[in-house]
Structure 1
Amino acid sequence: MTSICVASAGPAAEVLRNVPTTLDLRDPAFQTTYTARVLRDGVSALRNNYGLDARAGRWRNELVAEGIRAIAWVPVRRGGEPTAVLMLCAGEPDFFDGELMALLEELGADLSHALDLIDGRCARQEAVREIEVGRDRFQRLSQSAPVPMAIVSVADRRIVETN
């Protein structure tokens, strides 16, 4: 499984330009990062004084040099499983309080819901395409059959289609 940075802005974008565009989640060096933990466990993480965090990843020095002091990681789910992480950075320590984290959790849930709606819409569109292909195939078979056929509605004994 790989992780891909999709978008970034502000000072974090400068640091993230040094991060590989894809990260192998099986790589032991990546497994201990907060991003990997949030992806694995599906639980938000918060470090309000990232510069002093002994468990911070290998990009800590670059982040601190760019002025980042606090970071919040929020899982984004697809089909109920964590598939992305929203990482938000702040330039001052203790930036993320309980109220803000609750809002960020709600944002993560809203993003997850939106992705599920998109997936559902895509699945419905694919199902409609499959039905249309099946219907077209049936019509071709019916029209080329050497004997007459009819589809009759059982409920009202109405002829629905004939060849």
Structure 2
Amino acid sequence: MLATIEQARTLGLTHVTDNVRERPSFICNCCRCCCELMAGVQLGFHDGIAKTPFLAVIDPQRCDYCADCIKACNAKGIGIAATARGRKKDERFAAVDSGICLGCGACIDACEHRAISLVPRPDPAIPPRDRGRLFARVLWEKGRLWPFVVDRVKQRWYSLGRGV
């Protein structure tokens, strides 16, 4: 399994799993062109995939704006730095959008100038402990937790023969 994960990393794929701390149920190695989760992130649903507690940063002194990192980022979280817009191509440098960056590190190996590194993300989100809590959080965020709970209580009540 480790060899498969290493091969996926060398192919520039992004590792994705369910957003839980204990006993994830799958590991997926995603690209930008085929993965529905990555497509959602690219379409603006930046929190559709959980982010790692790390964030990619680019050293503008080392970056020559070759765009290899832009091509490698499966979430499309790297672009030209706002302060480098309008400059000549040799004065431009890339920058990471911290709201989009997954912290996967797929961009690091793409950079021949070693201008990219991972740093701790400020205030990283702590994922739920297990899948049950993950689903409860999703229901809560959608405003559907209490209707779900009430429905389950009713089902239990009737299964015990107490309902009419």
More relative contact order, 1 or 2 (CA 8 Å, 6+ apart): 2
Tell me which protein shows more helix as a share of its residues: 1
- TM above 0.5: no
TM-score (norm 2): 0.30
TM-score (norm 1): 0.30
Tell me which protein shows more strand as a share of its residues: 1
